[in-house]
Amino acid sequence: MKPSGVELLRVRMPLVAPFRTSFGTQNVRELLLVRVVTPNGEGWGECVTMGGPLYSSEYVDGAEHVLRNFLVPALMEAGEVTASQVVPRLARFKGHRMAKAALEMAVLDAELRAHDLSFAAALGSTRDSVPCGVSVGIMDSVPQLLDVVGGYLDAGYVRIKLKIEPGWDVEPVRAVRERFGDDVLLQVDANTAYTLSDVSQLARLDPFELLLIEQPLDEEDLLGHAELARRIRTPVCLDESIVSARSAADAITLGACRIVNIKPGRVGGYLEARRVHDVCAAHGIPVWCGGMIETGLGRAANVALASLPGFTLPGDTSASDRFYRTDITEPFVLKDGHLPVPQGPGLGVTPIPDLLAEVTTSTVWLGS
């Protein structure tokens, strides 16, 4: 299909509560949405960059700049293009995987809607609902943490993920185990906050039978993760380190991880995310779908991805109300700890115009 134009929308959505990780606290989600218009209809993409380059080197102003000045013009010059040709056509531009992923997602959505195919069907879904985990931020106190965790368990979440950092690790994990028992599926995410010199502290998590410890070390330290994995019992899972199917194969071969968190934006798109899934499956490595506090657009695509066979661990595919009082799409509502996989054409959801307008701070039209 030949896009006739692309709209970039800057969106600001307040979070229901501050979300604190080892790299900072978020109260508002600054987002960039991409709307691709083609003769056969339109498609939506969501760029998962954070407001600043804190989770990774990408950030929302940079993504908007690279889309406006390089990626969208290149797409428009390409003429007829299928979704699977988008990323290869942009390969000459280095990096900016989240920006490229958003553009591919929008073209893929338009293409699938035109062919009356869902993301789930196109990606190889084998389930009609997915079990949902939830990510819990660093809190001001252990009692506050226990209240929040109790609320999510009451809501039906099947897995709890605790953000950790030096000074907030063993004590909160021990408290959750003591309060809620050994049967709760429990894991932790450090967002690169530790170094190999912290190995003895991280080994103190072993007695709590965690599902995994996510990205304890720097995203470029694969050998450090391999050494850590030899010295602790908790399985190491990588997030920030895995930026493509190739890097997943490298990390697995080096023994740097036994589990992979797949985030389509981080790896450069949903099509690459499926390749990461396939590489991990070939190595017997379980995967789960990570989250970047997406709106219902990205959430719809993530739930579809999470329904592929290799996604054997609950993901951070929580309900819309985990982060937002009002989503820009029909909300995703948890039912018996699961979310339904959208079956409609493309994403299966579209923004609700009034709700989108309320949170849109600027738009730019690029095209004829």
Ligand X SMILES: CSCC[C@@H](NC(=O)CCC(=O)O)C(=O)O
Which residue of this chain has its Cβ atom nearest to ligand X in the complex? 291
Least Cα distance to 43 among 100, 85, 5 occurs for: 5
Q: Is 335 known to be catalytic?
A: no
Report the residue from 3, 13, 20, 26 that binds ligand X according to the rule CB under 6 A: 26
CB of 357 to ligand X, least distance (A): 24
Least Cα distance to 77 among 270, 271, 366 occurs for: 366
Task: Tell me: does residue 316 bind Mg ion (CB under 5 A).
Answer: no
**Token pair of 155, please?**
């809501």
- Rounded (to 5) percent helix, strand, coil in the chain: 40, 25, 40
Q: Is 163 known to be catalytic?
A: yes
| Residue pair 223/256 in contact by the 8 Å Cβ criterion | yes
Task: Tell me: does residue 293 bind ligand X (CB under 6 A).
Answer: yes
Catalytic residue among 2, 100, 161, 263: 263
Q: How far does Cα 247 stand from its chain's mean position?
A: 17
Catalytic residue among 2, 100, 163, 335: 163
| Residue pair 112/118 in contact by the 8 Å Cβ criterion | yes
Q: For Mg ion, which stretch binds (CB under 5 A), given 108-116, 192-200, 235-243, 291-299? A: 235-243
- The DSSP symbol for 285 reads -
String of contacts with ligand X for each residue 129-168, x by CB under 6 A: ------x---------------------------------
Task: Tell me: does residue 49 bind ligand X (CB under 6 A).
Answer: no
Task: Tell me: does residue 292 bind ligand X (CB under 6 A).
Answer: yes
- Interaction partner, residue 172 (Mg ion, ligand X, none; CB < 5-8 Å by kind): none
Signed CA dihedral, 39, 103, 330, 275: sign only: positive
Task: Tell me: does residue 311 bind ligand X (CB under 6 A).
Answer: no
**Token pair of 308, please?**
């592929």
Cβ nearer to ligand X, comparing 54 with 121: 54
Q: For Mg ion, which stretch binds (CB under 5 A), given 51-59, 188-196, 264-272, 331-339? A: 188-196
- Interaction partner, residue 63 (ligand X, Mg ion, none; CB < 5-8 Å by kind): none
Buried b (16+ CB within 10 A) or exposed e, 269-294: bbbbbbbbbebbbeeebbbbbbbbbb
Cβ nearer to ligand X, comparing 151 with 207: 151
Q: Which residues form the catalytic set?
A: 163, 263
